[in-house]
Amino acid sequence: MRHRIILATIIALLNLTINSSYAMVPGYAMIVECPHCRGTKERLTLESGNTLVGHQWWDLKQDYPMLPHVSFVQKCLHCQKYYILKDAKQTEGNDYSFELGKLDYVEMRRAWDQMKDTLQGESRIQLLLEYVWAYNDAFQRQEYHNEPLSPREETVLRVCPRTRPIDFDIDKAVKEIKQEFIDTQIEFETVIRELVASFPVKNRLIHAEFLREAGFFDEAMAIVEQEGEQQEEPYKTLEEILHDKCTRKDSSVGIISYQ
């Protein structure tokens, strides 16, 4: 699994794509069994796909509409618990499904809370990475912020529901919302620090980028200085991004794009 994560990193960084002239063709859905309650759900499989449309982000997330990512962690529709997909029993069905099991940030926090004390090894590192992706989806991914209700607003509304009793105390509610947000940030810092400590990379600028995205601009710049001037892509571009965005205290997540 470690090799798979390293390979995924290398693929993302070198922009090596699995270009293909084939359109996306789904295969029969896999029937996934929840390890907690044995309830089942279907998930997408692909006979073929391609990366002709889509892009990769500097946090290593890949968005390819014709090669969609089935979530590494799944939520059971029956008992509402979470589990790692590769650890679940899966059998081929005889129908099609486009279910990816994608979790939003609120669900990812619950998944992390359920598994953080027991999950080990490469699965733990992958869950940390997916947590960071979910956080960035909600708050920081530039392209996702053009919709009428921003993902950030949507998440805050879900974290802190506005449906209150008629006689609710607005000051108390605001205090709760602030506390919830503080808790979110504290938890995110813990996750990002563990990810940086355990995620294998060829070049530590990737760690610097994770730290910048989390708002630790000085620490990110310290790594940039340790690594020295970069001559090769994508690190040359990443170094420029780190210099520029750290100076402006900008934590937004952009798309990998370099010549």
> Which residues are near Zn ion by CB under 5 A?
34, 36-37, 39, 76, 78-79
Residues in the chain: 259
Say if CB 70 and CB 85 are below 8 A apart: yes
Give 74 or 140: the residue with its C-beta nearer to Zn ion. Answer: 74
Say if CB 76 and CB 34 are below 8 A apart: yes
Say if CB 2 and CB 27 are below 8 A apart: no
Q: Which two tokens stand for residue 136?
A: 């960035």
**CA dihedral in degrees (76, 78, 80, 83; nearest 10)?**
-30
Minimum gap (Å) between residue 81 Cβ and Zn ion: 5
- The CA distance from 194 to 96, in Å, is 38
Give 40 or 203: the residue with its C-beta nearer to Zn ion. Answer: 40
Give 72 or 144: the residue with its C-beta nearer to Zn ion. Answer: 72
Give 4 or 89: the residue with its C-beta nearer to Zn ion. Answer: 89
Q: Which two tokens stand for residue 41?
A: 């759900």
Minimum gap (Å) between residue 30 Cβ and Zn ion: 16
Minimum gap (Å) between residue 191 Cβ and Zn ion: 24
Minimum gap (Å) between residue 36 Cβ and Zn ion: 4
